[in-house]
Amino acid sequence: MDISSLRNDFPTMRNNRGVYLDSSCQSLRPDSVIKAILGYYNEYPSCGGRSVHAMGAKVSTAVDEARESLAEFFGTDDPDCYVFCKNATEALNTVAFGLSLKRGDTIVTTDSEHNSNHVPWLILSEEKGTKRRYAKTTEEGELDLESFKECMENGVKVVSVIHASNVTGCIMPVAEISEIAHDAGAKVIIDGAQAAPHIKVDLDKIDPDFYCLSVHKMLGPSGMGVLYGRSEELANLRPLSYGGGTVGLATYDSVKLAPPPDRFEAGLQDYAGIAGTKAALDYLSKAGMGNVEAWDKRLMRQMVGETEDIKGLKLVGPTDPDRRGSVFSFNVEGLSPHDIAMMLDNIDGIMIRSGLHCAHPFFEGKKIEGSARASVYLYNNEEDVSRFSATLRKVAEAFGK
């Protein structure tokens, strides 16, 4: 498939709204996703799993079909292993606080986690007295596997790691991590927010106990995420919220929870978002995740090649573009990341991210104050990259040290 031809499927691109290079924060949406969202509101704006009328039945069918698409997309058999939530953050919190960990239980993460996979464990240590170990990453951001193995000694309850970094783009060896952790008797949680939109994720091969992702980073609606869990793990996980939809039967003095996934989906759901989720998965499946990954690499190679001689520019993460995924994080000597981002936007409508990217432990550990970050996706093209590179060069030459 010619990925470049997909650009016209995105209204933002068709309408020349500038150069969008902030997809690691949130992706744009194609026409088919927008149509699916509007289709819910125009054709069957009702609730699922409750009413037996025709519109309610159509909602329930749409929810079931979205779960089936998730199972197919991620290479698993049971659609009921997928729980809808707001984002990867909510999914990670659901697992962290639902495992019923107790004082002295040890959790292993890396030293480069997103706050969504860092702060919940901090709160648990404060409230429950759990312990924490940090596997080290290299200066470029890749996992030091020997450090991870050392962390797994002397009893570990949980391993919770990123699949791909939103700063360096580095991909963690999650299948190997999962095998080592399971051999040690630990449960495995993977933050897949940055990986799921850009590479083929086969959960049967990776073999995690839980996998968390944000649909809004993979062409889907804002406010949509997914928690995958093995059926036996979901059955033993305590929900984060309780109420309508989570209950099989409640009396004045007792409650029997519904089976997964319903027990984790309290109240009415974002049914338009669920319809949009299926449309996003269908779109990515048609594009082919292998093609998406190859296109990311092509644009990263161009971006690194066109900027490597800019004076004062320093990459955060690998210099090899094939190890960066879809993420180009950098600093320019003499300029703050926010200054860079604002000037790129003001000069040529180039939209990037700046700051700590919610990955505070990474920057603290590497002693870096922040970075500017350009991130690409399947709707970007060579012209976008060239405009970014040329404008960045002007900014660095005019205002850099």
**Do 293 and 259 share a domain, yes or no?**
no
pLDDT given for residue 5 in this prediction? 87
**Do 310 and 394 share a domain, yes or no?**
yes
Considering the domain boundaries, does residue 4 fall inside one? no
Residue 346's domain comprises 288-399
**Do 249 and 313 share a domain, yes or no?**
no
Written as six digits, the tokens of 261 are 């996934």
* 372 touches 43 (CB < 8 A): no
**Structural domain ending residue among the three candidates 286, 315, 337:** 286
pLDDT given for residue 1 in this prediction? 65
**DSSP labels, 213-231:** EEGGGTT--TT-EEEEE-H
**Structural domain ending residue among the three candidates 269, 286, 303:** 286
Domain count, the chain: 2
* 364 touches 357 (CB < 8 A): no
Q: Which of 85, 170, 212, 358 is catalytic?
A: 358
**Do 71 and 200 share a domain, yes or no?**
yes
Written as six digits, the tokens of 229 are 């869990």
**Do 282 and 293 share a domain, yes or no?**
no
pLDDT given for residue 89 in this prediction? 98
Considering the domain boundaries, does residue 182 fall inside one? yes
**Do 275 and 316 share a domain, yes or no?**
no
**Do 374 and 389 share a domain, yes or no?**
yes
The sign one gets for the Cα dihedral 204, 207, 135, 218 is positive
pLDDT given for residue 104 in this prediction? 97
Considering the domain boundaries, does residue 150 fall inside one? yes
pLDDT given for residue 326 in this prediction? 98
**Do 371 and 244 share a domain, yes or no?**
no
**Do 391 and 336 share a domain, yes or no?**
yes
Nearest-angstrom CA–CA distance, 89 and 226: 10
* Helix, strand, or coil (residue 80): helix
Considering the domain boundaries, does residue 20 fall inside one? no
Considering the domain boundaries, does residue 298 fall inside one? yes
Considering the domain boundaries, does residue 6 fall inside one? no
Considering the domain boundaries, does residue 26 fall inside one? no
212 an active-site residue?
Answer: no
pLDDT given for residue 311 in this prediction? 94
Nearest-angstrom CA–CA distance, 213 and 158: 18
Q: What is the CATH number of the domain that holds 368?
A: 3.90.1150.10
Per-residue pLDDT of the chain (401 residues; tens, 9 = 90+): 678 889 999 999 999 889 999 999 999 999 999 999 999 999 999 999 888 899 999 999 999 999 999 999 999 999 999 999 999 999 999 999 999 999 999 999 999 999 999 999 999 999 999 999 999 999 999 999 999 999 999 899 999 999 999 999 999 999 999 999 999 999 999 999 999 999 999 999 999 999 999 999 999 999 999 999 999 999 999 999 999 889 989 999 999 999 999 999 999 999 999 999 999 999 999 999 999 999 999 999 999 999 999 999 999 999 999 999 999 999 999 999 999 999 999 999 999 999 999 999 999 999 999 999 999 999 999 999 999 999 999 999 999 98
**Structural domain ending residue among the three candidates 245, 262, 286:** 286
**Do 142 and 191 share a domain, yes or no?**
yes
Nearest-angstrom CA–CA distance, 310 and 313: 6
Considering the domain boundaries, does residue 7 fall inside one? no
Q: What is the CATH number of the domain that holds 49?
A: 3.40.640.10
**DSSP labels, 184-211:** TT-EEEEE-TTTTTTS---HHHH--SEE
**Do 75 and 206 share a domain, yes or no?**
yes
**Do 154 and 294 share a domain, yes or no?**
no
* 362 touches 167 (CB < 8 A): yes
